[in-house]
Amino acid sequence: MKKYRHAHPEKIQAIKKKWKRTDVALVGRRAQSKRYRERYTPMIVEKNRRYAEQNPEKIKARREVAKALKSGILKKGECKMEGCDSKKVQAHHHDYSKPLDVEWACSKHHAELDGKVK
Ligand SMILES: [Zn+2]
C-alpha cells in the first residue's frame, strides 16, 4: 500500500479531493469548526471585553480616529519613519486624551513607536 501511495501521488490526491467533497467530510468539518467556536469564542470575547475595560481611552481614541477618517476630517498619511514605503498605516497616539492628534506609521514601525519592539 505504501508503495502504491508513493508511486501514484496524483491518484491519492484525487481520492483525497473526492473525499473532501463528500457529505461525511463536510459534516465533519462543520462539526470541527463548531467545536472550535464553542471552545474559543467565549475566551476571545472575554479577552476583548477585559481589554476594553482596562483601556477605555484607547478604545475611545481608536473609535474617534475611525470616525474622523470616515467623515474625511482625518486623512491617512505615510509611515512617519524615513525610508519606509509601506502603504498600510495605523494611527499612532502620543496622548489618548487627544484622539485626533496622531502620527501615521505602518504596523512594524507603530510597534516600535509603542516600544513593543526594541
Ligand atoms: Zn514604516
More confident residue, 114 or 74: 74
Cα(first)–Cα(last) distance of the chain, in Å? 53
pLDDT averaged over every residue in the chain: 93
In the chain, where does DSSP find H-type helix?
2-7, 9-20, 23-54, 56-71, 107-113
Strands 89-93 and 102-106: antiparallel
Whole-number Å distance, alpha carbon 111 to ligand 1 midpoint, is 10
Task: Residue count of the chain, please give it.
Answer: 118
Whole-number Å distance, alpha carbon 86 to ligand 1 midpoint, is 6
Percent of the chain with pLDDT over 70: 97
For the segment 46-68, the average pLDDT, to the nearest whole number, is 96
For the segment 31-41, the average pLDDT, to the nearest whole number, is 96
Whole-number Å distance, alpha carbon 95 to ligand 1 midpoint, is 20
pLDDT at 115: 86
Separation CA 63–CA 70 (nearest Å): 11
Whole-number Å distance, alpha carbon 69 to ligand 1 midpoint, is 20
Which cell is 37 given?
467556536
Is residue 117 predicted with pLDDT exceeding 90?
no
Is residue 118 predicted with pLDDT exceeding 80?
no
DSSP character at residue 105: E
Whole-number Å distance, alpha carbon 13 to ligand 1 midpoint, is 42
Whole-number Å distance, alpha carbon 58 to ligand 1 midpoint, is 21
| Per-domain residue ranges of the chain | 2-54, 56-113
In tens, the pLDDT along 85-103 reads 998 999 999 999 999 999 9
Separation CA 45–CA 50 (nearest Å): 9
Is residue 60 predicted with pLDDT exceeding 80?
yes
